[in-house]
Chain A
Protein backbone atom coordinates (compact mmCIF):
# COMPACT_ATOMS: atom_id res chain seq x y z
CA UNK A 1 0.00 0.00 0.00
CA UNK A 2 1.40 3.36 -0.97
CA UNK A 3 1.04 6.40 1.25
CA UNK A 4 -1.53 7.80 -1.19
CA UNK A 5 -3.63 4.62 -0.95
CA UNK A 6 -3.42 5.03 2.81
CA UNK A 7 -4.53 8.67 2.66
CA UNK A 8 -7.44 7.87 0.36
CA UNK A 9 -8.49 5.04 2.66
CA UNK A 10 -8.49 7.16 5.81
CA UNK A 11 -10.05 10.17 4.08
CA UNK A 12 -12.79 8.02 2.56
CA UNK A 13 -14.21 4.72 3.86
CA UNK A 14 -12.46 4.71 7.25
CA UNK A 15 -13.64 8.21 8.05
CA UNK A 16 -17.19 7.31 7.09
CA UNK A 17 -16.96 4.27 9.37
CA UNK A 18 -15.57 6.32 12.26
CA UNK A 19 -18.27 8.96 11.91
CA UNK A 20 -20.93 6.24 11.75
CA UNK A 21 -19.70 4.63 14.99
CA UNK A 22 -19.35 8.02 16.66
CA UNK A 23 -22.86 9.20 15.84
CA UNK A 24 -24.42 5.80 16.43
CA UNK A 25 -22.74 5.50 19.83
CA UNK A 26 -23.66 8.99 20.91
CA UNK A 27 -27.21 8.54 19.57
CA UNK A 28 -27.72 5.52 21.82
CA UNK A 29 -26.12 7.15 24.84
CA UNK A 30 -28.01 10.40 24.55
CA UNK A 31 -31.44 8.87 24.08
CA UNK A 32 -30.84 6.49 26.98
CA UNK A 33 -29.75 9.32 29.23
CA UNK A 34 -32.40 11.80 28.26
CA UNK A 35 -35.13 9.17 28.54
CA UNK A 36 -34.21 8.62 32.17
CA UNK A 37 -35.82 11.98 32.64
CA UNK A 38 -37.12 13.50 35.80
CA UNK A 39 -40.08 12.63 37.89
CA UNK A 40 -42.91 15.07 37.47
CA UNK A 41 -42.48 17.96 39.85
CA UNK A 42 -45.85 19.13 41.17
CA UNK A 43 -44.52 22.16 43.01
CA UNK A 44 -45.18 25.52 41.44
CA UNK A 45 -42.06 26.73 39.53
CA UNK A 46 -40.44 29.86 40.95
CA UNK A 47 -38.27 30.61 37.98
CA UNK A 48 -37.31 29.47 34.50
CA UNK A 49 -35.72 26.06 34.25
CA UNK A 50 -34.37 26.74 30.74
CA UNK A 51 -32.71 29.98 31.75
CA UNK A 52 -31.27 28.45 34.89
CA UNK A 53 -29.91 25.57 32.84
CA UNK A 54 -28.05 27.78 30.39
CA UNK A 55 -26.76 30.02 33.17
CA UNK A 56 -25.19 27.06 34.90
CA UNK A 57 -23.68 25.70 31.69
CA UNK A 58 -21.96 29.04 31.29
CA UNK A 59 -21.07 29.69 34.95
CA UNK A 60 -19.32 26.41 35.51
CA UNK A 61 -16.64 27.23 33.02
CA UNK A 62 -15.07 29.10 35.93
CA UNK A 63 -13.74 26.86 38.72
CA UNK A 64 -15.30 27.34 42.11
CA UNK A 65 -12.94 28.87 44.70
CA UNK A 66 -12.47 25.59 46.53
CA UNK A 67 -11.16 23.77 43.49
CA UNK A 68 -8.97 26.67 42.58
CA UNK A 69 -7.34 26.70 46.03
CA UNK A 70 -6.95 22.96 46.25
CA UNK A 71 -5.69 22.28 42.72
CA UNK A 72 -4.56 25.36 40.82
CA UNK A 73 -2.30 23.25 38.61
CA UNK A 74 -5.19 21.13 37.38
CA UNK A 75 -7.33 24.16 36.69
CA UNK A 76 -4.65 26.01 34.72
CA UNK A 77 -3.35 23.04 32.77
CA UNK A 78 -6.81 21.62 32.20
CA UNK A 79 -8.14 24.93 30.92
CA UNK A 80 -5.08 25.51 28.72
CA UNK A 81 -5.25 22.28 26.85
CA UNK A 82 -9.03 22.16 26.59
CA UNK A 83 -9.15 25.66 25.13
CA UNK A 84 -6.14 24.91 22.90
CA UNK A 85 -7.63 21.65 21.67
CA UNK A 86 -10.97 23.26 20.84
CA UNK A 87 -9.36 26.30 19.19
CA UNK A 88 -7.15 24.11 17.00
CA UNK A 89 -10.12 21.91 16.20
CA UNK A 90 -12.52 24.65 15.19
CA UNK A 91 -10.36 27.62 14.18
CA UNK A 92 -7.66 26.06 11.99
CA UNK A 93 -8.26 26.86 8.33
CA UNK A 94 -8.18 23.30 6.94
CA UNK A 95 -10.62 22.23 9.67
CA UNK A 96 -13.01 25.11 8.98
CA UNK A 97 -12.79 24.17 5.31
CA UNK A 98 -13.73 20.60 6.15
CA UNK A 99 -16.77 21.76 8.14
CA UNK A 100 -17.78 24.20 5.41
CA UNK A 101 -17.67 21.58 2.66
CA UNK A 102 -19.32 18.92 4.82
CA UNK A 103 -22.08 20.78 6.65
CA UNK A 104 -22.27 24.00 4.67
CA UNK A 105 -21.51 26.25 7.63
CA UNK A 106 -18.33 28.21 8.23
CA UNK A 107 -16.80 30.85 10.45
CA UNK A 108 -13.60 32.88 10.41
CA UNK A 109 -10.43 30.99 11.24
CA UNK A 110 -7.27 32.08 13.05
CA UNK A 111 -4.00 32.65 11.16
CA UNK A 112 -1.91 29.50 10.90
CA UNK A 113 1.04 30.69 13.03
CA UNK A 114 -1.35 31.46 15.89
CA UNK A 115 -2.88 27.99 15.68
CA UNK A 116 0.65 26.65 15.54
CA UNK A 117 1.53 28.37 18.82
CA UNK A 118 -1.73 27.21 20.40
CA UNK A 119 -0.94 23.65 19.32
CA UNK A 120 2.46 23.76 20.99
CA UNK A 121 0.90 25.04 24.22
CA UNK A 122 -1.72 22.29 24.04
CA UNK A 123 0.92 19.62 23.55
CA UNK A 124 3.01 20.90 26.47
CA UNK A 125 -0.05 21.15 28.70
CA UNK A 126 -1.14 17.61 27.81
CA UNK A 127 2.32 16.28 28.64
CA UNK A 128 2.29 18.23 31.91
CA UNK A 129 -1.09 16.75 32.76
CA UNK A 130 0.25 13.25 32.16
CA UNK A 131 3.39 13.86 34.19
CA UNK A 132 1.30 15.14 37.06
CA UNK A 133 -1.01 12.16 36.86
CA UNK A 134 1.99 9.85 37.09
CA UNK A 135 3.76 11.76 39.86
CA UNK A 136 0.86 12.50 42.17
CA UNK A 137 0.32 9.32 44.24
CA UNK A 138 -3.41 9.88 44.68
CA UNK A 139 -3.99 10.55 41.02
CA UNK A 140 -1.88 7.62 40.00
CA UNK A 141 -3.84 5.37 42.33
CA UNK A 142 -7.13 6.58 40.92
CA UNK A 143 -6.08 6.28 37.27
CA UNK A 144 -7.34 3.33 35.27
CA UNK A 145 -6.00 2.03 31.95
CA UNK A 146 -8.91 3.84 30.32
CA UNK A 147 -7.58 7.16 31.57
CA UNK A 148 -4.26 6.54 29.85
CA UNK A 149 -5.98 5.36 26.69
CA UNK A 150 -8.06 8.52 26.61
CA UNK A 151 -4.93 10.61 27.14
CA UNK A 152 -3.15 8.91 24.24
CA UNK A 153 -6.14 9.28 21.95
CA UNK A 154 -6.36 12.98 22.78
CA UNK A 155 -2.65 13.57 22.44
CA UNK A 156 -2.16 11.80 19.11
CA UNK A 157 -4.41 14.00 16.94
CA UNK A 158 -2.69 17.13 18.26
CA UNK A 159 0.78 15.67 17.81
CA UNK A 160 0.18 14.31 14.31
CA UNK A 161 -1.53 17.56 13.34
CA UNK A 162 1.58 19.45 14.39
CA UNK A 163 3.84 17.02 12.51
CA UNK A 164 1.67 17.32 9.41
CA UNK A 165 1.56 21.11 9.47
CA UNK A 166 5.33 21.29 9.72
CA UNK A 167 5.76 18.39 7.32
CA UNK A 168 8.06 16.62 9.74
CA UNK A 169 7.26 13.17 8.35
CA UNK A 170 7.60 12.45 4.65
CA UNK A 171 5.85 11.90 2.36
CA UNK A 172 3.06 14.29 3.25
CA UNK A 173 0.15 11.93 2.41
CA UNK A 174 1.54 9.58 5.07
CA UNK A 175 1.61 12.16 7.87
CA UNK A 176 -1.75 13.63 6.87
CA UNK A 177 -3.17 10.10 6.79
CA UNK A 178 -1.77 9.38 10.26
CA UNK A 179 -3.38 12.56 11.56
CA UNK A 180 -6.77 11.60 10.15
CA UNK A 181 -6.38 8.03 11.43
CA UNK A 182 -5.66 9.28 14.96
CA UNK A 183 -8.81 11.41 14.81
CA UNK A 184 -10.77 8.38 13.66
CA UNK A 185 -9.55 6.35 16.65
CA UNK A 186 -10.64 9.21 18.90
CA UNK A 187 -14.08 9.31 17.27
CA UNK A 188 -14.60 5.56 17.49
CA UNK A 189 -13.67 5.35 21.16
CA UNK A 190 -15.36 8.58 22.29
CA UNK A 191 -18.93 7.36 22.88
CA UNK A 192 -17.78 4.44 25.00
CA UNK A 193 -15.26 6.07 27.36
CA UNK A 194 -14.89 9.13 29.57
CA UNK A 195 -14.65 11.14 26.39
CA UNK A 196 -18.45 11.21 26.41
CA UNK A 197 -18.07 14.16 28.76
CA UNK A 198 -17.57 16.34 25.68
CA UNK A 199 -21.34 16.09 25.29
CA UNK A 200 -22.63 14.93 28.64
CA UNK A 201 -20.84 17.57 30.70
CA UNK A 202 -23.10 20.17 29.15
CA UNK A 203 -26.24 18.10 29.69
CA UNK A 204 -25.35 17.46 33.31
CA UNK A 205 -24.69 21.14 33.94
CA UNK A 206 -27.89 22.11 32.24
CA UNK A 207 -29.83 19.56 34.23
CA UNK A 208 -28.50 20.84 37.55
CA UNK A 209 -29.03 24.42 36.51
CA UNK A 210 -32.58 23.68 35.39
CA UNK A 211 -33.45 22.35 38.83
CA UNK A 212 -31.96 25.43 40.46
CA UNK A 213 -33.70 27.69 37.99
CA UNK A 214 -37.06 26.11 38.62
CA UNK A 215 -36.61 26.52 42.33
CA UNK A 216 -35.53 30.10 41.78
CA UNK A 217 -32.21 29.71 43.58
CA UNK A 218 -28.73 30.83 42.57
CA UNK A 219 -26.46 28.11 41.24
Chain B
Protein backbone atom coordinates (compact mmCIF):
# COMPACT_ATOMS: atom_id res chain seq x y z
CA UNK B 1 0.00 0.00 0.00
CA UNK B 2 1.46 3.34 -0.94
CA UNK B 3 1.40 6.02 1.67
CA UNK B 4 1.19 9.76 1.09
CA UNK B 5 4.92 10.16 1.76
CA UNK B 6 6.03 7.46 -0.63
CA UNK B 7 4.39 9.09 -3.61
CA UNK B 8 6.69 11.47 -5.36
CA UNK B 9 4.81 14.69 -6.01
CA UNK B 10 5.23 15.93 -9.58
CA UNK B 11 4.80 19.27 -11.27
CA UNK B 12 2.52 20.69 -13.94
CA UNK B 13 3.38 23.04 -16.77
CA UNK B 14 0.94 24.82 -19.03
CA UNK B 15 1.45 26.11 -22.56
CA UNK B 16 0.30 29.76 -22.66
CA UNK B 17 0.56 30.45 -26.37
CA UNK B 18 -3.21 30.76 -26.51
CA UNK B 19 -3.00 34.03 -24.56
CA UNK B 20 -1.42 35.77 -27.56
CA UNK B 21 0.49 38.96 -26.81
CA UNK B 22 -2.26 41.11 -25.34
CA UNK B 23 -3.21 38.97 -22.35
CA UNK B 24 0.12 37.63 -21.17
CA UNK B 25 -0.10 39.11 -17.67
CA UNK B 26 -3.64 37.89 -17.01
CA UNK B 27 -2.91 34.41 -18.35
CA UNK B 28 0.32 33.86 -16.48
CA UNK B 29 -1.16 35.17 -13.23
CA UNK B 30 -4.14 32.83 -13.63
CA UNK B 31 -1.76 29.92 -14.24
CA UNK B 32 0.35 30.91 -11.25
CA UNK B 33 -2.60 31.15 -8.90
CA UNK B 34 -3.94 27.86 -10.20
CA UNK B 35 -0.69 26.33 -8.93
CA UNK B 36 1.14 25.46 -12.14
CA UNK B 37 4.91 25.22 -11.67
CA UNK B 38 5.80 26.38 -15.17
CA UNK B 39 4.39 28.36 -18.07
CA UNK B 40 5.72 27.64 -21.55
CA UNK B 41 5.62 29.79 -24.69
CA UNK B 42 5.56 28.38 -28.20
CA UNK B 43 7.70 29.68 -31.00
CA UNK B 44 6.92 28.26 -34.40
CA UNK B 45 6.51 30.54 -37.45
CA UNK B 46 2.79 31.04 -37.28
CA UNK B 47 0.99 34.21 -38.34
CA UNK B 48 0.31 36.49 -35.38
CA UNK B 49 2.73 34.77 -33.01
CA UNK B 50 5.17 37.11 -31.28
CA UNK B 51 8.61 36.11 -30.07
CA UNK B 52 8.27 33.50 -27.30
CA UNK B 53 11.20 34.71 -25.23
CA UNK B 54 9.81 38.23 -25.06
CA UNK B 55 6.43 36.96 -23.92
CA UNK B 56 8.21 34.99 -21.22
CA UNK B 57 10.20 38.10 -20.26
CA UNK B 58 6.99 40.13 -19.98
CA UNK B 59 5.57 37.42 -17.70
CA UNK B 60 8.68 37.43 -15.48
CA UNK B 61 8.22 40.57 -13.35
CA UNK B 62 4.47 40.15 -12.86
CA UNK B 63 4.83 36.72 -11.20
CA UNK B 64 6.62 35.29 -8.14
CA UNK B 65 6.30 31.52 -8.36
CA UNK B 66 5.76 30.12 -11.82
CA UNK B 67 8.74 29.34 -14.07
CA UNK B 68 8.75 31.01 -17.50
CA UNK B 69 10.00 28.75 -20.23
CA UNK B 70 10.12 29.80 -23.89
CA UNK B 71 10.80 27.64 -26.90
CA UNK B 72 13.79 28.90 -28.85
CA UNK B 73 15.05 27.41 -32.06
CA UNK B 74 18.66 26.21 -32.11
CA UNK B 75 19.15 25.87 -35.86
CA UNK B 76 18.51 29.25 -37.51
CA UNK B 77 19.37 31.47 -34.57
CA UNK B 78 22.69 32.88 -33.38
CA UNK B 79 23.84 30.82 -30.36
CA UNK B 80 25.54 33.86 -28.82
CA UNK B 81 22.32 35.92 -28.91
CA UNK B 82 20.23 32.98 -27.66
CA UNK B 83 22.50 32.49 -24.68
CA UNK B 84 22.44 36.18 -23.75
CA UNK B 85 18.69 36.43 -24.15
CA UNK B 86 18.10 33.41 -21.93
CA UNK B 87 20.51 34.62 -19.27
CA UNK B 88 18.64 37.95 -19.31
CA UNK B 89 15.33 36.12 -18.96
CA UNK B 90 16.70 34.52 -15.82
CA UNK B 91 17.50 37.98 -14.42
CA UNK B 92 14.08 39.50 -15.19
CA UNK B 93 12.25 36.50 -13.74
CA UNK B 94 14.33 36.23 -10.57
CA UNK B 95 15.81 32.83 -11.45
CA UNK B 96 12.66 31.21 -12.80
CA UNK B 97 13.69 30.83 -16.45
CA UNK B 98 14.11 27.71 -18.54
CA UNK B 99 14.62 26.87 -22.19
CA UNK B 100 12.80 24.45 -24.45
CA UNK B 101 15.45 23.99 -27.11
CA UNK B 102 13.77 23.21 -30.41
CA UNK B 103 15.22 22.34 -33.81
CA UNK B 104 13.14 23.88 -36.57
CA UNK B 105 12.33 21.63 -39.52
CA UNK B 106 11.51 24.52 -41.78
CA UNK B 107 12.71 25.51 -45.25
CA UNK B 108 11.04 28.90 -44.61
CA UNK B 109 13.09 29.51 -41.47
CA UNK B 110 16.24 28.63 -43.42
CA UNK B 111 15.35 30.98 -46.29
CA UNK B 112 14.55 33.78 -43.87
CA UNK B 113 18.14 33.89 -42.64
CA UNK B 114 19.73 32.88 -45.93
CA UNK B 115 20.96 29.50 -44.76
CA UNK B 116 20.63 26.07 -46.29
CA UNK B 117 17.88 23.82 -45.01
CA UNK B 118 18.80 21.41 -42.22
CA UNK B 119 16.99 18.11 -41.65
CA UNK B 120 17.41 14.64 -40.20
CA UNK B 121 20.17 13.91 -37.69
CA UNK B 122 21.85 17.21 -38.54
CA UNK B 123 19.10 18.94 -36.55
CA UNK B 124 20.30 17.30 -33.37
CA UNK B 125 23.87 18.37 -34.13
CA UNK B 126 22.78 21.99 -34.49
CA UNK B 127 20.78 21.73 -31.27
CA UNK B 128 23.65 20.12 -29.39
CA UNK B 129 26.07 22.82 -30.55
CA UNK B 130 23.73 25.65 -29.61
CA UNK B 131 23.06 24.18 -26.15
CA UNK B 132 26.79 23.70 -25.60
CA UNK B 133 27.50 27.32 -26.58
CA UNK B 134 24.88 28.60 -24.17
CA UNK B 135 26.08 26.45 -21.33
CA UNK B 136 29.70 27.50 -21.80
CA UNK B 137 28.75 31.17 -22.01
CA UNK B 138 26.57 30.93 -18.89
CA UNK B 139 29.59 29.56 -17.03
CA UNK B 140 32.00 32.06 -18.59
CA UNK B 141 31.58 34.39 -15.61
CA UNK B 142 32.08 32.73 -12.27
CA UNK B 143 29.40 33.60 -9.72
CA UNK B 144 31.69 35.91 -7.79
CA UNK B 145 33.34 37.61 -10.80
CA UNK B 146 31.89 41.04 -9.93
CA UNK B 147 34.04 42.06 -6.97
CA UNK B 148 33.70 45.88 -6.84
CA UNK B 149 37.03 46.18 -5.07
CA UNK B 150 37.48 49.86 -4.32
CA UNK B 151 41.06 49.44 -3.08
CA UNK B 152 42.37 48.10 -6.39
CA UNK B 153 39.81 49.91 -8.56
CA UNK B 154 38.66 46.63 -10.07
CA UNK B 155 34.96 46.10 -10.82
CA UNK B 156 35.54 42.52 -11.92
CA UNK B 157 38.13 39.88 -11.13
CA UNK B 158 39.43 39.06 -14.58
CA UNK B 159 40.64 35.64 -13.40
CA UNK B 160 36.98 34.68 -12.95
CA UNK B 161 36.05 35.39 -16.54
CA UNK B 162 36.67 32.72 -19.18
CA UNK B 163 36.65 32.46 -22.94
CA UNK B 164 34.11 29.87 -24.07
CA UNK B 165 36.24 29.03 -27.15
CA UNK B 166 33.60 26.82 -28.69
CA UNK B 167 34.21 25.09 -32.03
CA UNK B 168 31.70 22.93 -33.84
CA UNK B 169 32.95 19.31 -33.88
CA UNK B 170 34.91 18.02 -36.88
CA UNK B 171 32.02 15.82 -38.04
CA UNK B 172 29.51 18.70 -37.83
CA UNK B 173 27.13 18.43 -40.79
CA UNK B 174 26.23 22.12 -40.98
CA UNK B 175 28.53 25.04 -41.71
CA UNK B 176 31.25 25.04 -39.06
CA UNK B 177 31.46 27.98 -36.67
CA UNK B 178 33.13 29.09 -33.49
CA UNK B 179 32.13 31.31 -30.58
CA UNK B 180 34.75 33.14 -28.54
CA UNK B 181 33.07 34.55 -25.42
CA UNK B 182 33.02 35.40 -22.57
CA UNK B 183 29.35 36.26 -22.24
CA UNK B 184 28.35 39.91 -22.19
CA UNK B 185 26.18 39.33 -19.13
CA UNK B 186 27.22 37.83 -15.78
CA UNK B 187 26.30 34.23 -14.99
CA UNK B 188 22.52 33.78 -14.77
CA UNK B 189 20.93 33.68 -11.31
CA UNK B 190 20.43 29.91 -11.57
CA UNK B 191 23.97 29.46 -12.83
CA UNK B 192 22.71 27.19 -15.56
CA UNK B 193 19.15 27.48 -16.84
CA UNK B 194 17.32 24.18 -17.07
CA UNK B 195 17.28 23.02 -20.69
CA UNK B 196 14.37 20.94 -21.99
CA UNK B 197 14.07 19.27 -25.38
CA UNK B 198 11.78 16.85 -27.14
CA UNK B 199 12.73 13.26 -26.28
CA UNK B 200 13.06 12.55 -30.00
CA UNK B 201 15.99 14.99 -30.13
CA UNK B 202 17.88 13.52 -27.17
CA UNK B 203 19.92 10.34 -26.89
CA UNK B 204 22.90 8.55 -28.33
CA UNK B 205 24.09 10.17 -31.56
CA UNK B 206 21.67 13.04 -30.97
CA UNK B 207 21.73 15.72 -28.28
CA UNK B 208 23.65 14.00 -25.45
CA UNK B 209 21.33 13.28 -22.54
CA UNK B 210 23.73 14.76 -20.00
CA UNK B 211 23.43 18.20 -21.62
CA UNK B 212 19.68 18.49 -21.02
CA UNK B 213 17.78 18.57 -17.76
CA UNK B 214 14.43 17.31 -18.97
CA UNK B 215 12.86 15.71 -22.01
CA UNK B 216 9.37 16.24 -23.33
CA UNK B 217 7.78 12.90 -24.12
CA UNK B 218 4.84 12.50 -26.45
CA UNK B 219 2.68 9.61 -27.60
CA UNK B 220 -0.26 9.31 -29.97
CA UNK B 221 -2.82 8.54 -27.25
CA UNK B 222 -3.17 9.08 -23.49
CA UNK B 223 -3.12 5.30 -23.03
CA UNK B 224 0.30 5.03 -24.66
CA UNK B 225 1.79 8.00 -22.85
CA UNK B 226 2.78 6.23 -19.61
CA UNK B 227 4.53 3.49 -21.59
CA UNK B 228 6.40 6.12 -23.59
CA UNK B 229 7.45 7.81 -20.34
CA UNK B 230 8.82 4.48 -19.05
CA UNK B 231 10.68 3.95 -22.33
CA UNK B 232 12.29 7.37 -22.15
CA UNK B 233 13.28 6.74 -18.53
CA UNK B 234 14.86 3.41 -19.46
CA UNK B 235 16.66 4.97 -22.41
CA UNK B 236 17.91 8.17 -20.73
CA UNK B 237 18.35 7.20 -17.10
CA UNK B 238 17.19 8.96 -14.00
CA UNK B 239 19.31 12.11 -14.19
CA UNK B 240 17.01 13.58 -16.84
CA UNK B 241 13.51 14.65 -15.78
CA UNK B 242 10.68 13.24 -17.86
CA UNK B 243 7.78 15.50 -18.79
CA UNK B 244 4.73 14.08 -20.55
CA UNK B 245 2.96 16.17 -23.20
CA UNK B 246 -0.82 16.22 -23.14
CA UNK B 247 -3.45 18.15 -25.09
CA UNK B 248 -6.58 18.73 -23.05
CA UNK B 249 -10.18 19.48 -23.94
CA UNK B 250 -12.49 19.58 -20.93
CA UNK B 251 -16.20 19.58 -20.32
CA UNK B 252 -17.04 23.17 -19.56
CA UNK B 253 -20.07 25.22 -18.61
CA UNK B 254 -22.47 22.41 -19.32
CA UNK B 255 -20.89 21.62 -22.68
CA UNK B 256 -19.33 18.22 -23.28
CA UNK B 257 -15.69 18.26 -24.32
CA UNK B 258 -16.45 16.07 -27.33
CA UNK B 259 -18.77 18.59 -28.88
CA UNK B 260 -16.55 21.54 -27.95
CA UNK B 261 -13.50 19.98 -29.48
CA UNK B 262 -15.20 19.46 -32.80
CA UNK B 263 -16.59 22.96 -33.11
CA UNK B 264 -13.74 24.98 -31.70
CA UNK B 265 -12.20 27.25 -34.31
CA UNK B 266 -9.90 29.26 -32.10
CA UNK B 267 -8.44 26.14 -30.51
CA UNK B 268 -4.93 26.64 -29.11
CA UNK B 269 -3.96 23.07 -29.99
CA UNK B 270 -4.18 21.90 -33.57
CA UNK B 271 -6.28 18.82 -34.40
CA UNK B 272 -3.22 17.20 -35.96
CA UNK B 273 -1.16 17.71 -32.81
CA UNK B 274 1.64 15.21 -32.15
CA UNK B 275 0.53 15.02 -28.56
CA UNK B 276 -1.81 12.64 -26.81
CA UNK B 277 -5.18 14.29 -26.36
CA UNK B 278 -7.44 13.95 -23.37
CA UNK B 279 -11.07 14.79 -24.13
CA UNK B 280 -13.52 14.57 -21.24
CA UNK B 281 -14.38 15.60 -17.71
CA UNK B 282 -12.21 17.25 -15.07
CA UNK B 283 -12.59 14.13 -12.94
CA UNK B 284 -11.34 11.94 -15.79
CA UNK B 285 -8.36 14.19 -16.35
CA UNK B 286 -7.57 14.15 -12.65
CA UNK B 287 -7.38 10.35 -12.74
CA UNK B 288 -5.16 10.40 -15.83
CA UNK B 289 -2.80 13.00 -14.34
CA UNK B 290 -2.72 11.13 -11.05
CA UNK B 291 -1.42 8.05 -12.82
CA UNK B 292 0.89 9.98 -15.18
CA UNK B 293 2.51 11.91 -12.32
CA UNK B 294 3.48 8.58 -10.74
CA UNK B 295 5.54 7.73 -13.83
CA UNK B 296 6.69 11.13 -15.04
CA UNK B 297 8.31 13.99 -13.14
CA UNK B 298 5.88 16.41 -14.67
CA UNK B 299 3.17 16.86 -17.27
CA UNK B 300 2.82 19.76 -19.68
CA UNK B 301 -0.76 20.58 -20.55
CA UNK B 302 -1.74 22.14 -23.85
CA UNK B 303 -5.21 23.59 -23.31
CA UNK B 304 -7.55 23.63 -26.31
CA UNK B 305 -8.84 27.09 -25.41
CA UNK B 306 -6.67 28.66 -22.73
CA UNK B 307 -9.29 30.59 -20.75
CA UNK B 308 -11.82 27.80 -20.78
CA UNK B 309 -9.50 24.97 -19.84
CA UNK B 310 -7.56 27.04 -17.33
CA UNK B 311 -10.72 27.80 -15.40
CA UNK B 312 -11.64 24.12 -15.14
CA UNK B 313 -8.08 23.11 -14.31
CA UNK B 314 -7.77 25.69 -11.59
CA UNK B 315 -11.16 24.97 -10.02
CA UNK B 316 -11.37 21.22 -10.26
CA UNK B 317 -8.18 19.48 -11.33
CA UNK B 318 -5.15 21.01 -9.60
CA UNK B 319 -6.72 21.28 -6.12
CA UNK B 320 -7.68 17.62 -6.21
CA UNK B 321 -4.22 16.56 -7.42
CA UNK B 322 -2.65 18.53 -4.58
CA UNK B 323 -5.06 16.97 -2.10
CA UNK B 324 -4.01 13.55 -3.29
CA UNK B 325 -0.35 14.49 -2.86
CA UNK B 326 0.63 13.82 -6.48
CA UNK B 327 1.06 17.51 -7.34
CA UNK B 328 3.51 19.67 -5.51
CA UNK B 329 2.35 22.86 -3.84
CA UNK B 330 3.83 26.00 -5.42
CA UNK B 331 6.88 27.59 -3.74
CA UNK B 332 7.14 31.36 -3.84
CA UNK B 333 10.46 32.72 -5.17
CA UNK B 334 11.77 29.22 -5.91
CA UNK B 335 13.92 28.66 -8.99
CA UNK B 336 13.08 26.52 -11.98
CA UNK B 337 15.99 24.30 -10.99
CA UNK B 338 14.16 23.72 -7.68
CA UNK B 339 11.04 22.66 -9.58
CA UNK B 340 13.08 20.09 -11.50
CA UNK B 341 14.89 18.95 -8.36
CA UNK B 342 18.28 20.02 -9.69
CA UNK B 343 21.21 20.72 -7.41
CA UNK B 344 22.94 24.13 -7.64
CA UNK B 345 24.88 24.25 -10.91
CA UNK B 346 28.64 23.85 -10.55
CA UNK B 347 30.67 26.11 -12.81
CA UNK B 348 32.83 24.16 -15.26
CA UNK B 349 35.49 26.88 -15.22
CA UNK B 350 35.41 27.42 -11.52
CA UNK B 351 38.72 28.54 -10.07
CA UNK B 352 37.43 28.44 -6.50
CA UNK B 353 35.60 25.09 -6.30
CA UNK B 354 37.77 22.12 -5.37
CA UNK B 355 36.93 19.90 -8.35
CA UNK B 356 35.08 21.27 -11.38
CA UNK B 357 32.54 18.86 -12.85
CA UNK B 358 33.30 17.45 -16.26
CA UNK B 359 29.77 17.66 -17.60
CA UNK B 360 29.09 21.01 -15.97
CA UNK B 361 25.40 20.98 -16.76
The finding on whether chains A and B are genuine partners in a shared complex, rather than unrelated, reads no
A binding-site residues for B, Cβ under 8 Å = none
